[in-house]
Structure 1
């Protein structure tokens, strides 16, 4: 497990994974756990978390990423089985993106019309086709470069 960075407190998700903190566990494997947050956004909101410390998407390896994605799919199927097929899957990295616990985690959030969750995308986004083409080209180049490294 990676130690917390200077200035960070002991990781609460690591404590849950080790059984040193209570959580409303809904699923567990050797490498991933799923539990309800203490303050869920809506009923059924579930966190899916690696059992060892991974700070964010930049630190996860490919194998564990696949385990995390599979566990997220299992939780989503469980949420659908109890009556809600509408949901958001949210994974945030960094404070500006809303990450408040710096241990990689995925939110699986059941949705209902007019629930208390805000809309995730602004309805007034206005991008020109040229702007979008330029962004797509930059991303293609960056992805190709990162695949070579």
Structure 2
């Protein structure tokens, strides 16, 4: 499934340019246009779901593949320590309603985030 109005669906389709850094049959990873760390990449499933919970429910295997792709992106860039972030809902900062995982690394990150 795709959503013709979804920015990330358009990136997956190649209709909107992005700096792609990793691909698998079911995921695509590209640099965030507003990076919050030296490494800030988004990993998205090629299939549209509105958020992480919906993706996990629809296809647990692709959800696991998102995490595996995120690890490949981070370690491939030379980072063994990295943060993965899924925002679910506008109230916590989700602005594109297509599941995506932020991969962040390269600077100290305190806890709690935000």
What is the TM-score normalised by the length of structure 1? 0.66
Q: Distance in 1 between matches of 2:3 and 2:107?
A: 39
Which structure's relative contact order is higher, taking Cα pairs within 8 Å and 6+ residues apart?
2
Aligned partner of residue 39 in structure 2, secondary structure: coil
The DSSP-based 3-state class of the residue aligned with 2:66 is: helix
Cα 1:62/1:120, change in 2 over 3 Å: same
- Could you say which structure has the larger radius of gyration? 1
Task: Name 1:49's counterpart in structure 2.
Answer: 44
Matches within 5 A, 1:1-149: 1-3=1-3, 10-60=5-55, 61-79=59-77, 81=78, 84-113=79-108, 119-121=110-112
Q: TM-score, normalised by structure 2?
A: 0.85
Q: Which runs of 5 or more structure 1 residues have no equivalent in the other structure?
A: 5-9, 123-149
Provide structure 2 residue ranges, at least 5 long, that are not aligned to the other structure.
none
Count how many residue pairs are aligned between Structure 1 and Structure 2: 110
Root-mean-square deviation (CA, aligned residues, Å) is 1.9
> Following superposition, which runs of at least 4 residues in structure 1 exceed 2 angstroms of deviation?
84-87
Q: Which has the higher strand share?
A: 2
